[in-house]
Amino acid sequence: MDLHRPIAYIRTMTTLDLNNPPATEPALINLAGMTRGELSAVLAPHFGLDAKKTKMRTSQIWRWMYQAGVREFAEMSDISKEMREGLAERFTLARPEMVERQVSTDGTRKYLLRMGPGIEVECVFIPGVGRAGALCVSSQVGCTLNCTFCHTGTQNLVRNLTAAEIIAQVLAAKDDLDEWPSDREDRNLSNIVFMGMGEPLYNLDHVAAAIDVISDGEGISLSRRRITVSTSGVVPQMEKLGNDTSAMLAISLHATNDALRDELVPINRKYPIAELLEACRNYPGASNARRVTFEYVMLKGVNDTDEEARELVRLLKGIPAKINLIPFNPWPGSPYECSSWGRIEAFADIVNRAGYASPIRTPRGRDIFAACGQLKSESVKKRASDIRREAAIS
Task: Return residues touching ligand SF4 (CB under 6 A).
Answer: 143, 145-147, 150, 152-153, 198-199, 232, 252, 373
Spatial distance between the Cα atoms of 309 and 296, rounded to a whole number of angstroms: 10
> Is 166 a binder of ligand SAH (CB under 6 A)?
no
Q: Are 166 and 160 in contact (CB under 8 A)?
A: no
**Minimum CB separation from ligand SAH for residue 231, in Å?**
5
Which amino acid belongs to residue 237?
Q
Rule CB under 6 A: say whether 182 interacts with ligand SAH. Answer: no
Q: How far apart are CA 150 and CA 351, in angstroms?
A: 24
Instruction: Give Cβ neighbours of residue 242 (< 8 Å, ≥ 6 apart).
Output: 249, 283, 284, 285, 286
Name the nearest CA neighbour of 318 among 282, 365, 284, 349.
282
The nearer residue to ligand SAH, 43 or 375, going by C-beta atoms, is: 375
Active site annotation includes 147? no
**CA nearest to 134, candidates 190, 215, 214:** 190
Torsion of CA 114, 117, 119, 122, to 10 degrees: 20
Q: Distance (Å, rounded) from C-alpha 37 to C-alpha 31?
A: 11
Stretch that binds ligand SAH, among 215-223, 274-282, 304-312, 324-332 (CB under 6 A): 324-332
* Given 143, 150, 338, 372, the catalytic residue: 372
CA-based torsion, 109, 110, 115, 121: positive or negative: positive
Active site residue 122: yes
Which residues make Cβ contacts (< 8 Å) with residue 341, sequence separation at least 6?
none
Q: Which does 135 bind (CB under 5 to 8 A by kind): ligand SAH, ligand SF4, none?
A: none
Q: How far is the CB of 252 from ligand SF4 (least distance, A)?
A: 6
Distance between CA 130 and CA 306 in Å, rounded?
29
Which residues pair with residue 14 across a beta bridge?
Answer: none
> Going residue by residue from 62 to 101, which x/- string records binding to ligand SAH, judged by CB under 6 A?
----------------------------------------
Q: Which residue is nearest to ligand SAH (CB)?
A: 373
Which of 120, 122, 199, 308 is flagged as catalytic? 122
Taking CB under 6 A as the rule, does residue 203 contact ligand SAH?
A: no
Choosing from 297, 323, 325, 350, the residue that interacts with ligand SAH (CB under 6 A) is 297
C-beta of residue 359 within 8 angstroms of C-beta of residue 327: no
Residue nearer to ligand SAH on the CB measure, 33 or 200: 200
Q: Which residues on neighbouring strands pair with residue 147, listed in sequence order?
A: none
Output the smallest distance, CB 153 to ligand SAH, in A.
8
Determine which residue in the list 230, 245, 293, 358 makes contact with ligand SAH, applying CB under 6 A: 230
- CB 348 to ligand SF4: min, Å: 21
Q: Which residues bind ligand SAH (CB under 6 A)?
A: 149-150, 195, 199, 230-232, 252, 295, 297, 326, 328-329, 372-373
Query: What residues are annotated to the active site?
Result: 122, 372
